[in-house]
């Protein structure tokens, strides 16, 4: 349920995401590919730094993970405040850039320089009824055992890998009229 296939899904809930002050808004035109909470070392380190920015809203789970919804890049459209977005990199040469609204230091989404066809939109920044995380991944990087409110995986669950692979494959198929 809710698997995004890489095409416009007219039955999908159209979501928006915005920064805490409303200066930046994003339209998401499809259902998410997947929803998860990532506990990898990079997400934890970046979250600590981003939440420490002046006035930045909190977004981490109590265990340290960052909940996110994965959308195809083509589904994300910045509808307000593009000029207020800046890319934060955890270290020089990092493939990931965490997009932060400079108006209120809200972390909105992760984009990749190379590779993945998706973006990770921060769950806490999605307006309205965002689908909850389905998995907690990369739990091997946590200092304490994670809560059991979600299926916990030390790496990547097979279901997540299959959803991403299927969405990527279907995104490349010709579109019907």
pLDDT tens profile 61-103: 999 999 999 999 999 999 999 999 999 999 998 899 999 999 9
CATH code, domain with 30: 3.90.1590.10
Map residue 85 onto helix, strand or coil: strand
Q: What pLDDT is stored for residue 6 in this prediction?
A: 37
Residue 1 lies in a domain: no
Residue 128 lies in a domain: yes
Q: Domain span at residue 103? A: 15-169
Separation between Cα atoms, residue 142 and residue 26, nearest integer Å: 31
Residue 34 lies in a domain: yes
Domain tally, the chain: 1
Percent of the chain with pLDDT over 70: 90
Residue 26 lies in a domain: yes
Residue 10 lies in a domain: no
Separation between Cα atoms, residue 76 and residue 79, nearest integer Å: 9
Q: Confidence class of residue 10 from pLDDT cuts 50, 70 and 90?
A: very low
Residue 114 lies in a domain: yes
Q: Confidence class of residue 177 from pLDDT cuts 50, 70 and 90?
A: very low
* 143-170: pLDDT as tens digits: 999 999 999 999 999 999 999 999 988 8
Separation between Cα atoms, residue 119 and residue 146, nearest integer Å: 25
Residue 8 lies in a domain: no
pLDDT at 107 over 80: yes
Q: Confidence class of residue 3 from pLDDT cuts 50, 70 and 90?
A: very low
Cβ neighbour number for residue 51 with a 10 Å cutoff: 14
Q: What pLDDT is stored for residue 152 in this prediction?
A: 98
Residue 150 lies in a domain: yes
Structure-token pair, residue 55: 């006035």
The model scores a pTM over 0.85: yes
């Amino acid at each position: 349920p809710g698997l995004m296939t890489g095409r416009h899904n007219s039955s999908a809930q159209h979501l928006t995401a915005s920064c805490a002050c409303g200066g930046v808004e994003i339209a998401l035109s499809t259902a998410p590919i997947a929803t998860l909470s990532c506990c990898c070392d990079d997400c934890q380190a970046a979250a600590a730094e981003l939440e420490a920015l002046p006035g930045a809203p909190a977004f981490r789970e109590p265990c340290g993970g960052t909940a996110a919804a994965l959308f195809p890049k083509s589904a994300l459209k910045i509808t307000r405040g593009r000029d207020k977005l800046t890319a934060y990199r955890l270290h020089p040469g990092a493939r990931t850039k965490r997009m932060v609204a400079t108006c209120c230091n809200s972390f909105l989404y992760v984009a990749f320089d190379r590779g993945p066809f998706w973006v990770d939109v921060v769950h806490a920044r999605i307006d309205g009824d965002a689908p909850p995380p389905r998995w907690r991944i990369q739990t091997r990087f946590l200092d304490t055992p994670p809560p059991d409110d979600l299926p916990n995986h030390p790496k990547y669950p097979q279901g997540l890998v299959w959803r991403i692979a299927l969405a990527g494959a279907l995104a490349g198929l010709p579109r019907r009229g």
